[in-house]
Amino acid sequence: MSFPTTRLSRLRAAPALRLMVRETTLAPDDFVFPMFVVHGEGVRREIKSMPGMCQLSVDQAVTEAQEAAALGIPSVVLFGIPAEKDALGSENFSDEGIVQQATRAIKAALPDLIVIADVCMCEYTDHGHCGVVRDQILDIGDQSSFIDNDATLEVLKKATLTYARAGADVIAPSGMMDGMVGAIRAALDGEGFVNVSILSYAIKYASAFYGPFRDAADGAPKFGDRRTHQMDPANAREALRELALDIKEGADMVMVKPALPYLDVIHRVREACQVPVAAYNVSGEYAMIKAAAANGWLNERAVVLELLTGIKRAGADLILTYHAKDAARWLAEER
């Protein structure tokens, strides 16, 4: 008995047919657009290591958020550059902090846009670390343990409440402190903010891909590094332990950061949990593509849409990406 020839190309023969059988669909409502906010008025300061991205004063952040919303992007995440830095990052937990101001302004202009407030200390502290630094540094092997985890949780709780009062819809703790989700959930619930969600940076690697972000947010550590609290890039099973702990503590959504070197981890996390999974397509990933495109080595549009599709195919429900606005425009043109 002979069998007919299998022709996989039959389903690839026409654009409409390819679209009909497409397994992974990318859309603007998959994206979260990150923004960096600064004090002042009319400020739109280019970030040299991130072409196309700027530090924005509150008025400009509102304009940028309006553009994102008009493109069908449902959410922005805010990072602040304070007027002054100190050891505790005091502006982080001030009701008049720059992210708090931007949150109020964006929600006033766009009530339905979801505002995510990143909660960490590194952008606000004069030492550039994600937590309270001990007076005495304790040497452990070839690293130094200098972050006081529990003291840091107290600062994060205070910051969280200021963001919630300002109108943030989602709190996104990113410092990788032990117990941060439980502490933040308790703080929110204790003040009546039971409907404010938590998007935990549950799986955040000690990555080399964060360089441009630290330039944008002026948040590079002045000494040491962050390997004592961020995850070792060699570990994947550990990610599932972090995941389970954060969900148990009350995380409504979880994140894997960065995205491209950790597609396998995104897939494992998606298979292991029932909460929405976000992936952060970080600054270094963005900058690489921008540099290659500027040199004519890559087709930026094609590469960006391919990589974002790959992140979603791996299992991400949400993608935080600096490409969000461009990708939304390109997707609209393809329809």
Strands 31-38 and 44-46: unpaired
CB 148 within 8 A of CB 244: no
Exactly one of 204, 290, 312, 325 is catalytic; name it: 204
In a domain, 168, yes or no: yes
**Tens-place pLDDT, residues 243-270:** 999 999 999 999 999 999 999 999 999 9
Q: What pLDDT is stored for residue 227 in this prediction? A: 62
In this prediction the pTM is 0.91
Q: What pLDDT is stored for residue 223 in this prediction? A: 58
CB 316 within 8 A of CB 260: no
In a domain, 37, yes or no: yes
Q: What pLDDT is stored for residue 33 in this prediction? A: 98
CB atoms within 10 A of CB 252: 16
In a domain, 13, yes or no: no
Q: What single DSSP character describes residue 11? A: G
In a domain, 55, yes or no: yes
Q: How many domains does the chain have?
A: 1
Strands (E), 265-325: 277-281, 318-321
79 strand-pairing partners:
36
- Catalytic-residue membership of 257: yes
- Coil, helix or strand for 33? strand
Expressed as residue numbers, the domain containing 35 is 25-334
**Which residue numbers in the chain have pLDDT < 70?**
1-3, 126-131, 135-145, 217-227, 229
Check the CA dihedral 176-177-183-184 and report its sign: negative
Exactly one of 257, 290, 312, 325 is catalytic; name it: 257
CB atoms within 10 A of CB 29: 12
- Catalytic-residue membership of 204: yes
CATH of residue 238's domain is 3.20.20.70
CB 225 within 8 A of CB 199: no
What does the block give as tokens for 16? 């409409």
As a whole number of angstroms, the distance between CA 322 and CA 334 comes to 20
In a domain, 14, yes or no: no
If phi > 0 it is left, if psi is from -120 to 50 it is alpha, else beta; for residue 29 that is alpha
In a domain, 157, yes or no: yes
In a domain, 83, yes or no: yes
As a whole number of angstroms, the distance between CA 206 and CA 197 comes to 25
**Tens-place pLDDT, residues 152-187:** 888 899 999 999 999 999 999 987 778 899 999 999
In a domain, 4, yes or no: no
